[in-house]
Chain A
Amino acid sequence: MISAFSQSPLWLIFEGREETPLACLYLNLEIFPSSRQFQDARDYFGTPPKAALAALENCYLEGRDVIDLPDPTRYLDYTYLDDQPEPELNFVERPLAMLFRTLMASRGRLRHMQSTEIAIARVIQFVPIWAQTAFRGTGCLLWENMIFTEDAFTRAMADLQPVLTRLQVDGTAHPPDAQILKLFKQEEAFHPFLRHLESDQRLRRELWEAFLKGREASLPDWSRPRLHSESPSYNMQIGMNGEAYIRDLPEGLDGWTGLVSN
């Protein structure tokens, strides 16, 4: 059995949008798979995820580390067109694959993005995107404020642009790599990513270049209100159908009521 209802060719929205960047993309999607979906892949779809995908299982849960996507460039090979699931992609990675292609297509063409799946902020491959597109986690309706302020990774991505701005002000347009690295070491907010930033010079360079391009195009827009507060209809959109999900909740919170459980 194959199902394609989770995939849309969202990347097409950014086609030809070089001069007219989209102001905001709101995503209220589940992106990362839980153990349940791994079980579904095995039991119902008969396609056990490959060993490399094991890193994705429950990776969105609180307390987990940086998410390093296994070989994500292959996601750019697929189109996610109408009702045509890509047979090479496993059930557990389809939403992520679609998101990856969408975000890569959005580079330089998106000012602001909000997502209920705040674990997106933990994906190391997406960090250069947040150097030029403002990123906010929205969390779920009832506990959204709490999540946004408590999640270290989301905070780090919110601090990314202000910190890089300091480098630009203090030094030249292209500061030495050592200076960029030193800055990340000094900033406590980036420590969750430090291991990757230290070991990957190419990532640091890509991050800086993305930041510069975003600045030149006046791209990032942090002025967008958070999704839930924009209007009652958006509010309803998040809580549509009474669905509230326990993903991404800080530990100790009850999934439905938002009450602290003992």
Chain B
Amino acid sequence: MLRRIELTPGALELVTVFRVSILWGWDTEYPYDWDTCGPPEHWYFADRRDKKKEWLKKNALPKELLPRLDTLNEANWDTPWDWRRLPEWSSGSDGEGEDSVVKEARAFRSLMEPLLEKMTNLQTFHWGTQVIPLSARICRTLAKCRNLQAVSIGPSGQFFCSSESSPSIDL
């Protein structure tokens, strides 16, 4: 994860292509559980480990097992009971989100915004964070880029984590 940037003055003016790609971690066929997980932009950055058992009880564990939860060991909790992938339970971006930059969407954008404002010769811009919306400041900056040719967004959207995500492959 990006932690520190040092650049020669004026270097950002030479940037013509800028792409942001942060992978979304809801890599499972289970529909997104809004109730337990909250807004995805929070879930993405949050420490998810404390939600693990709550989520599993509600969504994945067989009902007949619920009266016997005290018999489960830690490994049992991560058993793919119905052969579907389970969500990732680490915190932040890949579990390494200790830096303030990856603590929330707003903090991440606040890093990108001043950088972009100096990229006055930008021609291509891609925003592929999936869960972090573009800010008004970023969009206004793009409006001022006179040489801007292509803007691409996604994959993202509120439906991406709660609808027809791809089924897993049975090999």
Q: What is the count of residue pairs linking A and B with beta-carbon distances less than 8 angstroms?
A: 181
Is B62 an interface residue, CB under 8 A from the partner? no
Is A7 an interface residue, CB under 8 A from the partner? yes
Residue numbers in B under 8 Å from A14 (CB-CB): 143
Is B142 an interface residue, CB under 8 A from the partner? yes
Q: Per-residue CB proximity of A222-238 to B under 8 Å, as 1/0?
A: 00000100000110011
> Beyond A8-B134, A36-B162, is A23–B155 a contact (Cβ under 8 Å)?
no
Q: Which of B130-171 contact A (CB under 8 A)?
A: 130-136, 139-140, 142-144, 146, 148-160, 162-169
B152 touches A36 (CB 8 A): no
B132 touches A5 (CB 8 A): yes
Residues of A within 8 A of B (CB): 1-17, 20, 22-31, 33-34, 36-37, 40, 43-45, 79, 81-83, 91, 94-95, 116, 227, 233-234, 237-238, 240-247, 255-257
- Which of these, B31, B128, B150, B164, contacts A255 with CB under 8 Å? B164
Q: Rank and list the top 8 A-B pairs by shortest CB-CB distance, nearest first.
A: A28-B154, A6-B158, A26-B152, A3-B39, A12-B139, A8-B134, A44-B34, A30-B159
Residue numbers in A under 8 Å from B156 (CB-CB): 5-6, 28-29
Residue numbers in A under 8 Å from B155 (CB-CB): 28-29, 116, 237-238, 240-241, 243
A82 touches B135 (CB 8 A): yes
B102 → A minimal CB distance (Å): 15
Is B79 an interface residue, CB under 8 A from the partner? no
A82 touches B133 (CB 8 A): yes
- Inter-chain CA distance A170–B102, complex, in Å, is 60
Residue numbers in A under 8 Å from B39 (CB-CB): 1-5
A29 touches B157 (CB 8 A): yes
